[in-house]
Amino acid sequence: YIFVSIDFVSISKKIYFLILFVDLRGMSVLENNTDFECENNPKIYRGKAPIASIEVMDDLDLLSNSSTHLSRIKSEMNNKNIHEIKYRHLGKSGLKVPNIGLGSIKVFNQDNLDNIEELVTNAFNIGINLFDISDPHIADRTEYELGRIIKKKGWHRKQFTICAKIFWHKSHDKALSRKEIIESTKQTLANLQLSYVDLMIVHKSDSNCPIDEIIRAFAYLINDGKIMYWGTARWSPVEIFETYSQCRHLGLIPPICELGEYHWFHREKVELYMAELYNKIGIGLMTWSPISFGLCLGKNDDPLDLLPKLFMKSQKYNKNMEILNNDSHSKLLQLRNYADKLGCTLSQLQVAWSVRNQTCQCVIISASDSNELDELIGSLKIISKLSPQSMEEIDKILCNKPIRPAMISTLQQRWATSGGLPPG
């Protein structure tokens, strides 16, 4: 709109005609009530947002060769200590989770309640809004304290995600059943003082419990609004696929994720089978490791201290102590030297290596104080340094990249057994 003043000069007087509301686009004022709002509120602009994104405005700034401060603002934002918390869909579900979640194993395993509250609050403030109840021995206490902190802070329920677990092997009956699933969920909700849990995980499978009973129990809880999703932990790929197939057969909701161990010396399940399950059935993946749980911090990254911690919870290596040999110690020394080259600690390199794997949507970390938490979160800055060439160098050091075994022809087996030869 423009203000036009037309001056008609006559013999004795001047006549002013004020022509208002001239729409340069040929549109009448009365055609859209937004124009009236524009007259009374100049901050409202029709047809475009009042503030463009910094990226777009910066491009316009460069094109116009102007000396505005937008470029400076953008550079300051990039130089700030802003952690690159990114959010990913958990599997092919609609639930979005941060690439790093906070586990309870070290956070709540202490008596200093103020320190616990500080850790949870700091994690939430930087974007870590997934809280995983990891330790079965202090699960009740963790749930109670976490619920108390959430209530005290007044966080909106949409702002965070709770991942709880059913530790049936720690229960009185030591058996998984419909009763155990439902009662454990009710107890968790009471401890947390929440109306629902976002993700309920079955920790370990129970061969004595029919899979149909597990599926129907979770279907009941979902329909009743007590949980939103359910998943598994430490289940084999075969068990996960069978559960998914049975859910489809029954027309019920399948699990959306598996929670598994993943680090430099425990790779096969995640890199081979979970990646395939994601492509076939859309199952998501959250991972943990003794390093990400903070069990190896405070040791100055000494491989002699790191090795026992790294494998103490790995069933694959508990049966065979060959992993604690000079070869593994040598590999960790080389990895520490490579971490020094990247300007990070060995623990940060391992966590960044895990987060970089797109098969894993969320890596669970834990810490007992703010310094440990900052160290683990600092691993996100290392991800950009892990180029494909860097990953190849790490694989050359480890020499354990999983390779799918070749397909075996049963016909060739019969020929080899019978001594016959294939037809020419």
Q: What does the chain come to in residues?
A: 424
Rg over alpha carbons for the chain, rounded to the nearest Å, is 30
Over residues 338-361, mean pLDDT: 93
Among all chains, which residue has been given the structure tokens 């709880």?
Answer: 164
What pLDDT digit, counting tens, does each position of 232-248 carry? 999 999 999 999 999 99
As a whole number of angstroms, the distance between CA 32 and CA 362 comes to: 48
> Which parts of 269-324 fold into alpha helices (H)?
275-281, 303-311, 315-318
As a whole number of angstroms, the distance between CA 256 and CA 336 comes to: 36
Q: What's residue 377's pLDDT?
A: 94
Query: Cβ distance 133 to 143 under 8 Å?
Result: yes
Q: Of 257, 234, 264, which Cα lies nearest the Cα of 351? A: 264
Helix axes 370-377, 346-356, angle to 10 degrees: 50
As a whole number of angstroms, the distance between CA 243 and CA 125 comes to: 37
Q: Of 339, 373, 314, which Cα lies nearest the Cα of 104? A: 373
Question: How would residue 69 be classed by pLDDT, with cut points 50, 70 and 90?
Answer: very low
The better pLDDT of the pair 333, 99 is held by 99
Query: Cβ distance 90 to 362 under 8 Å?
Result: yes
pTM recorded for the entire structure: 0.74
63-77, 161-175, 238-252 — which one is most confidently predicted on average?
Answer: 238-252
Per-domain residue ranges of the chain: 87-398
Class of domain 87-398: alpha beta
What pLDDT digit, counting tens, does each position of 126-140 carry? 999 999 998 888 899
Q: What's residue 296's pLDDT?
A: 59
Is the torsion defined by CA of 112, 116, 121, 126 positive or negative?
positive
Rounded to 5 degrees, φ, ψ at 329 are: -65, -40
Is the torsion defined by CA of 248, 90, 284, 155 positive or negative?
negative
What pLDDT digit, counting tens, does each position of 288-310 carry? 987 877 665 545 555 555 655 55
Task: Write the DSSP symbol of residue 389.
Answer: H
Question: How would residue 371 be classed by pLDDT, with cut points 50, 70 and 90?
Answer: very high
Beta bridge partners of 197: 227
CA angle, residues 358, 361, 367, in degrees to nearest 5? 120
* Distances, alpha carbon 150 to alpha carbons 96, 144, 161, 195, 249, in Å: 20, 10, 11, 13, 39
Token output for 41: 């509120």
- Evaluate if residue 39 carries a pLDDT over 80: no
